[in-house]
């Protein structure tokens, strides 16, 4: 088993000794940031997914086989704490690391629910309009007593439903109006979350046009268990015209009849375009018609008695529509004999017209004819539509032709659920916006985003064009989050705004905070002094003086460098005897040994790290899944991992139009491994960039990731143009990259691209060697050009211990020359991905300016961390301390810590906790750890898991 360098060997046995001395969690022995009691690890989920409040617990038993259990954990822990002479080893779950712990035998059969033909409650409801960020299509819930249907599952659906306590476990069917990242970006995460619910897991029916087969094929590249995906494609082939008098009936039972009509994009200005379509998969839009059965007329007991019926079960049969025999006469009694006139069942249409090229086809759709009010004069079979929900963007729905088409539905209520300008100031995730606003108030330097954006014009809205159409618009209602339209009981037919969240502003949130925690009012001023002191220190240092910051004594002494480097000997060696390179010594000037030169001489335009998601497994109310944006300002930017909702987070941080500029200026995207919480936001980013740069000369975006990710992207690219170039992480390992980037590229250099998945000689080495393709060599050449344009010296991947083909990454900036003419080494950022404490990552992190390390679990949950090949907080800090990293930022927290994780404050001397939308500038690194203790006032009374919140563990964790 791989061994740790000497510094980490000294650190880790100490934690093991403490653990052995106290069977209870280590938090009882430590001075904690949070005053609340310690909490146990999650228990097996109870029916309904509810969790009790956490309480102190005995040590957690090892997980059962098949749940990522570790057969090496106990033995490894004994070796790690087994005396001074023993060599320390890192415990990890070898079975999981080799990809052999999957539960492929699980059936996850669809749950059969007993239908209720006499539904007492039925409504349609808007679940997330997508209007505040305009990055996804809204979802629509069709609710019955015993059944739930959802139309569209864009990114952010899980977060929205979690916040508003809409149980996804109750969903039976998911329908897609289009098969693309805008409407289905949240589907992979939803499927995996459902599969992790309960003991057996759950699944759901997924419906869509034939394009759905392409999406299902792409998803199976990282969802190995086919039982998770119950997909049902319907409709015509691509080369068959969509004009048909009959809709495709999908579901037809005693509860609802759901039918689909196809709308393909066509040109309307040229006759040739009408006969020849160049539709590609993903372009077809679906109009859904939801028809409820008619309401039986009122039962008349007097008529029943006159026909010879006695009160009893036969009355019920007649009300259900069944004929019965008379008790007094020899004849049959039919429902029409005793029931009043029937009332037609309510009808809801969901219309998705995404572009102007779909409009002509939509207006001439024959299968819609029976729903128009004027069709009764011709056929006498008109169906009265009660509600039409429009999902298209406002640039389409406000066009004059579209408005005139809407009039054909007569008195139907029109709900405009597409992107509207006026709702952009209303955050869709109010819980997250509330936390973001509070953090912004306390420390605007690190949290520039308040969660509320000013109203700005959308990219696809032409206000002058809309001004004319609005004059003749029919009556409509703009959708709002949780807006309902009641269908049953019939007496309540119509709109219901009671569930719409109340509107609050940033000022309201701050006022609430000051009333709740009066002491917090002084904190912003205290924190601002850190930045003033840092600026003064830099000024004094540039004048040849050193000004010591004394706001927090525990950060100015025994800092990271002094723990790792033997300064008294001045020998240029680590304490374990490892020699330091001359360049390493130049990073720490003698007059200020704690601050690297690249930080002391940094400008605010050098580099900034923005955390777009800091949670693990699945999106939650307060933390999105993993994504990190490295902002290089004028030189572009790089994404490290790209979990679901990454685009929405970019828009919350930089604004709707600002995020588009970020996406257009991306240099590359690097993905650590194939687990869904790290890459399912990728397709949405790539598709948007391709659309934004259409007609502009540009190169495909470079995506670096594990080989299975390429299979997903290639399969998905049949639906949308992703405009990307892929590079396998195996071909970006340090030896290959350094050889390729050298000026003397020879034939022997290119032969090094025939690399293994894991570093040669490592425990995780994969023995199936495959030569690099010319495509990979071209991608490497593109990477070399990207590094030059971005001001980077190198970017290389590091094999880590998590699952097959898992990697960390190292970014190092080029040297720059100071005003005095001296060469200054560039900054170095290391990101761990998901991993156990890893010797390869420690070596790669030597003297890193910033180490971003996952810290999924608290210290008392080490068994769980080993079972799932993650790190605890203390382990992550020990890795950074051993490597001599200047600053350590912890991220990827389990969603059982919704707001702030559990950690020991004494360990945080050079460490910071990441929050969503936190931005850390290179120039601000000296004061970074000093801020965290002051944030504890915001979370002093927070429980680890809110009692009302549901936290489920996704299968791909």
pLDDT band at 710 (very low <50, low <70, confident <90, very high): very high
Residue 578 has pLDDT above 90, yes or no: no
* Integer Cα distance of 921 and 912 in angstroms: 13
Specify if 931 maps to a domain. Answer: yes
Bridging pattern class, strands 413-416 and 477-478 = parallel
Q: Same domain, yes or no, for 305 and 291?
A: no
Give the pLDDT confidence score for residue 1 in this predicted structure.
Answer: 42
Q: Same domain, yes or no, for 322 and 432?
A: no
pLDDT tens digits, one per residue of 689-704: 999 999 999 999 999 9
Specify if 506 maps to a domain. Answer: no
Strands (E), 203-299: 205-209, 230-234, 248-252, 257-263, 285-291
Give the pLDDT confidence score for residue 274 in this predicted structure.
Answer: 44
> Domain limits at 616?
605-744+786-954
* Integer Cα distance of 33 and 555 in angstroms: 16
Of 192-196, 349-353, 532-536, 739-743, give the range with the top mean pLDDT. 349-353
Picking from 447, 429, 525, the residue whose alpha carbon sits closest to that of residue 163 is 429
pLDDT tens digits, one per residue of 454-503: 444 444 444 444 444 444 446 789 888 899 999 998 889 999 999 988 87
Half-sphere exposure of 915 (CA within 13 A, CB side): 28
Give the pLDDT confidence score for residue 560 in this predicted structure.
Answer: 34
Give the pLDDT confidence score for residue 104 in this predicted structure.
Answer: 54
Q: Which of 379-388, 637-646, 791-800 has the lowest mean pLDDT?
A: 379-388
The token pair that represents 718 in the structure block: 């049949």
pLDDT band at 43 (very low <50, low <70, confident <90, very high): very low
Contacts of 321 (CB under 8 A, 6+ apart): 296, 335
Specify if 315 maps to a domain. Answer: yes
At CA 844, angle to CA 839 and CA 850, rounded to 5? 115
Q: Same domain, yes or no, for 206 and 127?
A: yes
Question: What percent of the chain is helix, strand and coil (3-state, nearest 5)?
Answer: 35, 15, 50
Give the pLDDT confidence score for residue 948 in this predicted structure.
Answer: 38
* Integer Cα distance of 280 and 700 in angstroms: 20
Residue 679 has pLDDT above 90, yes or no: yes
Specify if 158 maps to a domain. Answer: yes
Residue 778 has pLDDT above 70, yes or no: yes
> How many CB atoms neighbour CB 5 within 10 A?
18
Mean pLDDT of 783-790: 96
pLDDT band at 335 (very low <50, low <70, confident <90, very high): confident
Edge-to-edge strands of the sheet including 205-209? 230-234, 205-209, 173-175, 148-151, 139-143, 122-127, 484-488, 494-496
Give the pLDDT confidence score for residue 424 in this predicted structure.
Answer: 61
Q: Same domain, yes or no, for 306 and 161?
A: no
Specify if 207 maps to a domain. Answer: yes
Q: How far is C-alpha 450 from the chain's CA centre?
A: 20
Q: How many domains does the chain have?
A: 3
Average pLDDT, the chain: 77
Question: Hey, which residues does 150 pair with through a beta bridge?
Answer: 141, 174
> How many CB atoms neighbour CB 341 within 10 A?
9
Specify if 708 maps to a domain. Answer: yes
Residue 361 has pLDDT above 60, yes or no: yes
Residue 615 has pLDDT above 70, yes or no: yes
Q: Which of 302-311, 312-321, 848-857 has the lowest mean pLDDT?
A: 312-321
Strands (E), 557-712: 608-613, 627-631, 637-642, 666-670, 701-705
pTM: 0.81
Q: Same domain, yes or no, for 365 and 321?
A: no
Residue 727 has pLDDT above 90, yes or no: yes
pLDDT tens digits, one per residue of 915-924: 999 999 999 9
Specify if 510 maps to a domain. Answer: no
Share above pLDDT 90 across residues of the chain, in percent, rounded to a whole number? 46
* Integer Cα distance of 510 and 503 in angstroms: 14
Q: Same domain, yes or no, for 259 and 307?
A: no
Q: Same domain, yes or no, for 804 and 708?
A: yes
Give the pLDDT confidence score for residue 484 in this predicted structure.
Answer: 96
Residue 434 has pLDDT above 80, yes or no: yes
> How many CB atoms neighbour CB 598 within 10 A?
23
Contacts of 109 (CB under 8 A, 6+ apart): 203, 227
pLDDT tens digits, one per residue of 203-226: 899 999 999 999 999 998 888 776
Q: Which of 133-137, 439-443, 649-653, 686-690 has the lowest mean pLDDT?
A: 133-137
> How many CB atoms neighbour CB 191 within 10 A?
27
Q: Same domain, yes or no, for 212 and 332?
A: no
pLDDT band at 887 (very low <50, low <70, confident <90, very high): very high
Give the pLDDT confidence score for residue 200 in this predicted structure.
Answer: 77
The radius of gyration computed from the CA coordinates of the chain, to the nearest angstrom, equals 31
Question: What are the CA-CA distances from residue 108 to residues 63, 115, 199, 225 (Å)?
Answer: 21, 21, 10, 9
pLDDT tens digits, one per residue of 819-872: 778 889 999 999 999 999 999 999 999 999 999 999 999 999 999 999 999 999
CB–CB of 413/487 below 8 Å? no
* Integer Cα distance of 819 and 803 in angstroms: 46
Q: Same domain, yes or no, for 223 and 330?
A: no
pLDDT band at 296 (very low <50, low <70, confident <90, very high): confident
Report DSSP state, residue 956: -
Q: Same domain, yes or no, for 333 and 368?
A: no
CB–CB of 641/679 below 8 Å? yes
Q: How far is C-alpha 909 from the chain's CA centre?
A: 30
Domain with 200 in it: what CATH number? 3.60.15.10
Helices 873-883, 6-21: inter-axial angle, 10-degree rounding: 150
Give the pLDDT confidence score for residue 16 in this predicted structure.
Answer: 35
Q: Same domain, yes or no, for 184 and 320?
A: no
Q: Same domain, yes or no, for 316 and 401?
A: no
> What are the φ/ψ torsions at residue 630 (nearest 5 degrees)?
-95, 105
The token pair that represents 133 in the structure block: 């960020």
* Integer Cα distance of 345 and 904 in angstroms: 61
> What are the φ/ψ torsions at residue 753 (nearest 5 degrees)?
-70, -15
Give the pLDDT confidence score for residue 107 in this predicted structure.
Answer: 67
Mean pLDDT of 559-578: 34
Listed residues 337, 357, 387: the one ending a domain: 337
Q: Is 18 helix (H, G, I), strand (E, B) or coil?
A: helix
Specify if 945 maps to a domain. Answer: yes
Residue 802 has pLDDT above 70, yes or no: yes
The token pair that represents 30 in the structure block: 């430590």
């Amino acid at each position: 088993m791989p061994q740790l360098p000497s510094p980490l060997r000294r650190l880790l046995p100490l934690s093991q000794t403490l653990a052995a001395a106290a069977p209870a969690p280590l938090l009882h022995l430590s001075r904690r940031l949070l005053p609340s009691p310690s909490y146990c690890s999650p228990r097996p989920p109870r029916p309904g997914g509810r969790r009790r409040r956490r309480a102190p617990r005995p040590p957690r038993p090892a997980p059962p086989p098949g749940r990522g259990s570790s057969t090496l954990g106990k033995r490894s822990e004994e070796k790690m704490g087994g005396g001074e002479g023993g060599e320390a080893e890192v415990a990890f779950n070898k079975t999981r690391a080799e990809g052999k712990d999957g539960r492929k035998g699980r059936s996850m059969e669809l749950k059969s629910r007993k239908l209720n033909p006499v539904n007492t409650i039925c409504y349609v409801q808007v679940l997330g309009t997508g209007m505040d960020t305009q990055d996804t299509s809204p979802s629509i819930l069709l609710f019955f007593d015993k059944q739930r249907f959802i139309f569209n599952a864009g990114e952010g659906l899980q977060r929205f439903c979690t916040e508003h306590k809409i149980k996804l476990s109750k969903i039976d069917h998911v329908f897609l109006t289009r098969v693309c990242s805008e409407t289905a970006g949240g589907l992979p995460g939803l499927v995996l979350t459902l599969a992790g619910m309960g003991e057996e897991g759950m699944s759901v029916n997924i419906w869509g046009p034939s394009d759905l087969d392409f999406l299902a094929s792409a998803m199976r590249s990282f969802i190995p268990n086919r039982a998770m995906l119950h997909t049902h494609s319907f409709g015509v082939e691509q080369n068959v015209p969509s004009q048909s008098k009959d809709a495709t009936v999908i579901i037809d039972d005693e509860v609802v009849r759901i039918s689909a009509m196809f709308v393909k994009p066509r040109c309307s200005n040229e006759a040739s375009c009408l006969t020849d379509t160049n539709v590609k998969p993903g372009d077809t839009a679906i109009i859904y018609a939801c028809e409820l059965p008619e309401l039986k007329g009122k039962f008349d007991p007097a008529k029943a008695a006159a026909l010879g019926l006695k009160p009893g079960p036969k009355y019920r049969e007649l009300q259900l529509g069944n004929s019965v025999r008379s008790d007094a006469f020899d004849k049959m009694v039919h429902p029409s004999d005793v029931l009043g006139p029937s009332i037609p069942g309510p009808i809801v249409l969901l219309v998705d017209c995404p572009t102007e090229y779909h409009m002509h086809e939509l207006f001439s759709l024959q299968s819609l004819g029976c729903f128009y009010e004027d069709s009764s004069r011709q056929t006498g079979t008109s169906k009265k539509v009660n509600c039409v929900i429009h999902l298209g963007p406002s640039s389409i729905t406000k066009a004059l032709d579209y408005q005139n088409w809407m009039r054909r539905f007569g008195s139907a209520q029109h709900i405009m659920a597409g992107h509207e300008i006026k709702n952009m100031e209303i955050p869709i995730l109010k819980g997250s916006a509330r936390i973001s606003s509070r953090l912004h108030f306390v420390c605007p330097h690190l949290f520039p985003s308040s969660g509320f954006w000013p109203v700005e014009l959308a990219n696809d809205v032409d206000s002058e064009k809309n001004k004319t159409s609005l004059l003749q618009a029919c009556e409509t209602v703009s959708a709002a989050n949780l807006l309902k339209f009641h269908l049953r009981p019939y007496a309540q037919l119509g709109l219901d705004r009671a569930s719409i969240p109340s509107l609050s502003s940033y000022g309201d949130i701050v006022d609430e905070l000051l009333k709740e925690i009066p002491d917090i009012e002084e904190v912003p001023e205290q924190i601002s002094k850190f930045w003033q002191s840092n600026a003064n220190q830099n000024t004094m240092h540039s004048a040849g003086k050193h000004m010591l910051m004394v706001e927090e004594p525990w950060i100015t002494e025994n800092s990271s460098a002094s723990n790792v480097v033997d300064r008294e000997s001045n020998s240029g060696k680590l304490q374990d005897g490892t020699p330091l390179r001359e360049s390493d010594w130049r990073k720490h000037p003698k007059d200020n040994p704690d601050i690297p030169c690249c930080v002391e001489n940094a400008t605010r335009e050098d580099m900034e790290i923005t955390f777009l998601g800091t949670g693990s497994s699945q999106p939650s109310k307060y933390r999105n899944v993993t994504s990190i944006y490295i902002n290089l300002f004028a030189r572009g930017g790089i994404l490290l991992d790209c979990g679901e909702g990454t685009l929405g987070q970019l828009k919350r941080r930089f604004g709707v139009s600002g995020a588009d500029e970020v996406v257009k200026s991306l240099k590359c995207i690097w993905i650590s491994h194939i687990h869904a919480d790290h890459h399912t936001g990728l397709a949405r980013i790539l598709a948007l960039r391709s659309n934004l740069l259409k007609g502009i000369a540009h190169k495909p975006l470079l995506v670096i990731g594990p080989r299975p990710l390429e299979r997903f992207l290639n399969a998905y690219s049949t639906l949308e143009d992703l405009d990307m170039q892929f590079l396998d992480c195996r071909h970006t390992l340090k030896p290959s990259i350094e050889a390729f980037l050298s000026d003397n590229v020879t034939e022997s250099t290119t032969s090094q691209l025939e690399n293994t998945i894991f570093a040669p000689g490592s425990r995780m080495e994969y023995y199936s060697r495959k030569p690099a393709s010319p495509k990979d060599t071209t991608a490497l050449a593109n990477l070399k050009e990207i590094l030059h344009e971005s001001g980077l010296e190198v970017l290389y991947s590091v094999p880590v211990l998590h699952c097959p083909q898992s990697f960390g990454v190292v970014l190092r900036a080029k040297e720059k020359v100071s005003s005095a003419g001296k060469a200054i080494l560039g900054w170095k950022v290391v990101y761990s991905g998901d991993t156990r404490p890893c010797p390869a990552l420690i070596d790669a992190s030597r003297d890193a300016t910033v180490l971003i390390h996952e810290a999924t679990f608290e210290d008392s949950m080490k068994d769980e961390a080993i079972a799932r090949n993650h790190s605890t907080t203390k382990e992550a800090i020990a890795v950074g301390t051993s490597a001599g990293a200047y600053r350590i930022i912890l991220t990827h927290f389990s969603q059982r810590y919704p707001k702030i994780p559990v950690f020991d404050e004494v360990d945080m001397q050079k460490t910071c906790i990441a929050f969503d939308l936190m931005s850390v500038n290179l120039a601000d690194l000296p004061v970074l750890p000093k801020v965290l203790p002051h944030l504890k006032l915001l979370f002093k009374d927070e429980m680890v898991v809110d009692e009302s919140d549901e936290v489920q563990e996704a299968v791909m964790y």
